[in-house]
Amino acid sequence: MSTVLDQRRATPAPLQRAADTGRSGLLAVLLADARLADRRLHVLNLVAAVLGLVVGGAVLLWNGADVLTAPALALLALCVAAPAVAKRRVGEALDRSTLTIALLSAVAAVAALLLPVWLYGADVNGIVHRSAITGPMLLLLSAFGASHGLRGVLGDGPSARDFATYPVLALPVVLAVAAYGFILARVVVSGVGSFDVSLLTTAWTQQLVETSGAAKFTYTVGLLNNILGTLELIALTSLFAILPGVGAGVFMSEYPGLMAKVIDLSTTMLRAVSVFVIGATAFGVVGATSGLAAGTPISDLVRGVYTDVNGLVHPGTGSFITASAFLALLVIPIIAKLTEEGLRSIPRDLREGSVALGTSDAYGLRRLLLPWAGLNIITGLLIGAAEASGSLAVIMFIAGPGQDGVAPTNSVTSLDYALFATQYGLKPYVDTMADYRFATALLLLLLTLGLTSVAVVVRRRVARRYRGSLTAG
Amino acid sequence: MRTDGLRVAYGSKEVLRGIDLPIAKGKVTALVGPSGCGKTTLLRTLNRLTDLTSTCSVSGIVTIDGEDCMAMDPVLLRRRVGMVFQKPNVFPMSIRENVLYGVKARGNGKTEYAEILESSLRKAVIWDEVKDRLDESALALSGGQQQRVCIARTLATSPEVVLMDEPGASLDPRSTQLLEESILAIRGDFTVVIVTHDIPQAHRVSDFLAFLYDGRVVEFGETRQLFAEPREHATKEYLEGGLVTVPPVGNVAAAAVPVSA
Ligand SMILES: Nc1ncnc2c1ncn2[C@@H]1O[C@H](COP(=O)(O)OP(=O)(O)O)[C@@H](O)[C@H]1O
Ligand SMILES: [Mg+2]
């Protein structure tokens, strides 16, 4: 026995076998013995997959890299298949996932070669369109290939298997994060580049100046009113939405019945209504008061007022109050749903505890249920505020440059309106503010970020106050 | 308080089949019996928590000081008949707010709050443990302490009757002992109805004892009497070993009677 072992040690088996089969070179050695071959071939597999990921990424960013797609796919197919082939040689069964990945990669390689001719033609445009398909295809297959390779390298235990799924899970996340990063970087870089502190302190206005007999418009450039306007919209919208939202939530959770069903249905439908429809409705409501002159309470409330360059006051195209009232329609269902969820999450024995102390439903609601759901309500409010501040579609029908300041009955304006106006060339705004487009976007971004940070802090505070030191429920 | 011919059903399933039970004022009445015999249901009927269960239907008479409980405003009834639950259910707020929760609902004068707080925590035998941390969350307390805060919370509203549903079921021996101290401390000032599976405990704390089996009161009487010489074989078996091998004869026959009877 021992002599046999010694002998084996003296001449490594794979080499021995390679010699037997008359082959030479690394591949021959690797293919000759599955046990040794396995590991190295799996490493090769992993390398090919990583290469595929790199090429895939490059293809998405730069069309020129597209020529590498087919070779990368072919290499992936080969390297994924190699360990399986080696295993097969020593009589082990082929595993299906290996074959699937290898075959798909091979097919994809052929497709990558044929796609431009067949689908788009072989010219430059064809390649541009094509890389949008081949890039993700290569990335996806490489992710599966990497997962496969990792599993081979790490062995086939359960934890190794878990770890090996990582590339497949991570790829879409990485792509999404990269997309966010790209947008964020563009806004920050261009925004900081075009930023000017005076934007924060100056409101946009136009003046009529007479120079040598001819009247001419001059403009003061700034975003002060837009910033204040956005903040005001958020504040007023929250104000308008909180009571109906909480009330609807209480109805849905606490008073089941016809009324609750109607509310549930209407809030659900409200969620489904396009923001453009809400905006168009706002426009219609504003239009309905168009016969009224400035100074009429209804007109001032709905249309707001607007001072022209000659200092004359006109009815505007929609006040902050109108805009917020319609934005609130978007926020109410969010608050309602979250309030309902919060109330439903209250343990039954706490409700019974309250009732058993001889307290009325109203008291329980005020002292126990609503504070418990407070976290949810505040979350709803903040999510709603973020949603409202991003729902330009509602106010773009009725907003204007807003050079009159931000009293609730003034014509509405906001940061996202400024973005919209410059992007779509609305005069005279675009002539004066186009250079500050990214600065505007950056401000909007910072504002949202600020809101979110406040949300986090408030949530912590409230959580500590109502849930005590134990995390109940 | 007393019940006469009390029947309670969940849907078509009758759970209490005619309960006649006197509850002596200022005394401790213990309810014992195997799981599912209807003890919790009986307690919940006494302060109309059964109103919260839509499938639950109640018939028969329940009175407090001769007044019909079923005809009262349930909120007012519950102010007179408080309840401590099986699992401690303190509210997610400070100890102080927990104890004053029911008190504040009645709009008593603010001046009395401090006094009520201390006296009810004392009666629940937890004052010394929490007097320096009244504004901390009640959730930070141990299970045993939480249960005693629940008792204090109920006592604070000065009900006439205190219902306790296996209040010691989830507690350690030391907490159970404090709980019993508390029950003995309030005896006389409050009428107590306690459900317990702990038979020695029932022996220790109660003046009267009712043995329930399958929705009926098999035997009721003074605790000492029932332990000394039970009339029914099933009662004797249950009090000695917590088990009933031969069901009480009267009830087997009664169980066969249709629900509508
Ligand atoms: N909400 C309910 N719906 C239907 N059946 C119930 C409900 N609550 C209790 N029951 C039933 O009523 C019977 C008595 O329950 P319960 O009063 O909790 O007994 P105990 O407290 O003595 O263990 C049991 O059979 C139980 O299944
Ligand atoms: Mg029970």
Comparing A59-63, A255-259, A332-336, the range with the smallest average pLDDT is A59-63
Strand-pair partners of A239: none
Answer yes or no: is pLDDT of B257 > 60: no
HSE-up (13 A, CA, CB side) for residue B26 = 2
Alpha-carbon distance A419 to nearest alpha carbon in chain B (angstroms) = 46
pLDDT one-digit tens code per residue, A212-221: 878 888 888 8
Facing A357 at nearest CB: one of B77, B87, B154: B154
pLDDT value at residue A277: 87
Confidence of residue A462 (pLDDT cuts 50, 70, 90): low
Alpha-carbon distance B128 to nearest alpha carbon in chain A (angstroms) = 21
Answer yes or no: is pLDDT of B156 > 90: yes
Percent of chain A with pLDDT over 70: 85
Confidence of residue A118 (pLDDT cuts 50, 70, 90): low
Comparing A211-220, A226-235, B31-40, B52-61, the range with the smallest average pLDDT is A211-220
Alpha-carbon distance B101 to nearest alpha carbon in chain A (angstroms) = 8
pLDDT value at residue B124: 93
Whether A468 and B137 lie within 8 Å, measured CB to CB? yes
DSSP B72: S
pLDDT value at residue B153: 96
CA max distance for chain A: 116
Confidence of residue A116 (pLDDT cuts 50, 70, 90): low
CA A148 to chain centre: 30
Ligand 1 first shell, C-beta below 6 A:
B 10, 15, 35-41, 53, 55
Query: Which chain B residues are closer than 8 Å to A362 by Cβ?
Result: none
Whether B102 and A372 lie within 8 Å, measured CB to CB? no
Interface check for A350 against chain B (CB to CB < 8 A): the answer is yes
Measured CA to CA, the distance from residue A357 to residue B68 in angstroms comes to 20
Answer yes or no: is pLDDT of A160 > 80: no
Q: B40, B78, B93, B135: best mutation site toward chain A, by most A Cβ within 10 Å?
A: B93
Shortest-distance ligand to the CA of residue B169: 2
Q: Are strands B28-32 and B208-213 parallel, antiparallel or unpaired?
A: parallel
pLDDT one-digit tens code per residue, A408-428: 888 888 888 888 888 888 887
**Which strands, in side-by-side order, build the sheet including B13-22?**
B13-22, B2-10, B56-64, B67-68
Q: Dihedral sign, CA of A131, A135, A138, A144?
A: negative
Tell me the CA end-to-end span of chain A in Å, nearest whole number.
Answer: 66
pLDDT value at residue A124: 57
Q: What does the CA dihedral A392, A395, A398, A404 come to, rounded to 10 degrees? A: -90
Which of B14, B15, B45, B166 best tests ligand 1's pocket when mutated (most atoms within 8 Å of CB)?
B15
Mean pLDDT of B30-38: 95
Interface check for A467 against chain B (CB to CB < 8 A): the answer is yes
DSSP B190: B
Answer yes or no: is pLDDT of A316 > 90: no
Nearest protein Cα to ligand 1, atom 27: B36
Comparing A235-244, A385-394, B83-92, B193-202, the range with the smallest average pLDDT is A385-394
Between B14 and A1, name the one with better pLDDT: B14
Mean pLDDT of B211-239: 92
Q: Which of residues 361-400 of A touch B (CB under 8 A)?
A: 363, 367-368, 371-372
Mean pLDDT of B98-122: 91
Percent of chain B with pLDDT over 70: 95
**Helix (H) or strand (E) segment spanning residue A305:** strand A305-307
pLDDT value at residue B20: 94
List of domains in chain A: 2-191 (no CATH), 200-467 (1.10.3720.10)
CA B157 to chain centre: 16
Query: Which chain B residues are closer than 8 Å to A468 by Cβ?
Result: 92-93, 136-140
Answer yes or no: is pLDDT of B258 > 50: no
Between A297 and B55, name the one with better pLDDT: B55
Answer yes or no: is pLDDT of A29 > 80: no
pLDDT value at residue A469: 39
Percent of chain A with pLDDT over 90: 22
Mean pLDDT of A187-194: 90
Chain B residue set in contact with A, beta carbons under 8 Å:
47, 49, 52, 75-80, 82-83, 85, 87, 89-93, 101-102, 104-106, 136-140, 150, 153-154, 157, 159
pLDDT value at residue A400: 75
DSSP A311: S
Answer yes or no: is pLDDT of A130 > 80: no
pLDDT value at residue A442: 92
HSE-up (13 A, CA, CB side) for residue A396 = 19
Complex confidence, ipTM: 0.91
Q: Which of A118, A120, A127, A140 is nearest to A64 (CA)?
A: A127
Residue count of chain A, please give it: 473
Mean pLDDT of B110-124: 93
> Angle, to 10 degrees, between the axis of helix A69-89 and the axis of helix A124-154?
30
Which region holds residue B173: left if phi is over 0, alpha if psi is between -120 and 50, else beta? alpha
Q: What angle do CA A103, A106, A112 make, to 5 degrees?
A: 140
Residue B250 CB contacts under 8 Å (≥ 6 apart), including other chains: B216, B218
Q: Give SS3 for B115.
A: helix
Tell me the CA end-to-end span of chain B in Å, nearest whole number.
Answer: 25
Which of B6, B7, B10, B50 best tests ligand 1's pocket when mutated (most atoms within 8 Å of CB)?
B10
pLDDT one-digit tens code per residue, B162-196: 999 999 888 889 989 999 999 999 999 999 999 99
Residue A277 CB contacts under 8 Å (≥ 6 apart), including other chains: none
**Helix (H) or strand (E) segment spanning residue B212:** strand B208-213
Measured CA to CA, the distance from residue B114 to residue B100 in angstroms comes to 9
Whether B91 and A368 lie within 8 Å, measured CB to CB? yes
pLDDT value at residue B256: 38
Confidence of residue A119 (pLDDT cuts 50, 70, 90): low
Answer yes or no: is pLDDT of A321 > 80: yes
pLDDT value at residue B260: 33
Contact call for residues A416 and A448 (beta carbons, < 8 A): no
Whether B139 and A356 lie within 8 Å, measured CB to CB? no
CA B36 to chain centre: 16
CA of B15 to the centre of ligand 1 (A): 7
Facing A352 at nearest CB: one of B52, B157, B159: B52
Between B115 and A18, name the one with better pLDDT: B115
Q: Dihedral sign, CA of B215, B218, B222, B228?
A: negative
Contact call for residues B119 and B186 (beta carbons, < 8 A): no
Q: Dihedral sign, CA of B256, B61, B206, B196?
A: positive
Between B27 and A472, name the one with better pLDDT: B27
pLDDT value at residue A28: 52
Mean pLDDT of B19-30: 95
Between A383 and A52, name the one with better pLDDT: A52
Comparing A132-136, A312-316, A451-455, B73-77, the range with the smallest average pLDDT is A451-455
Return the number of other C-beta atoms located less than 10 Å from residue A113's C-beta: 16
Q: Which range, A199-203, A344-348, B79-83, is most confident?
A: B79-83
CA of A119 to the centre of ligand 2 (A): 73
Measured CA to CA, the distance from residue A435 to residue A418 in angstroms comes to 12
Contact call for residues B69 and B3 (beta carbons, < 8 A): no
Answer yes or no: is pLDDT of B50 > 70: yes
Spell out the long-range contacts of A292-301 with Cβ–Cβ below 8 A and sequence spacing 24 or more.
A300/A409, A301/A409
CA of B176 to the centre of ligand 1 (A): 25
Q: Which of B113, B119, B205 is nearest to B164 (CA)?
A: B205
Residue count of chain B, please give it: 261
Confidence of residue A122 (pLDDT cuts 50, 70, 90): low
Residue A309 CB contacts under 8 Å (≥ 6 apart), including other chains: A206, A207, A208, A217
Return the number of other C-beta atoms located less than 10 Å from residue A57's C-beta: 18
Which of B40, B51, B166 best tests ligand 1's pocket when mutated (most atoms within 8 Å of CB)?
B40
Mean pLDDT of B119-131: 95
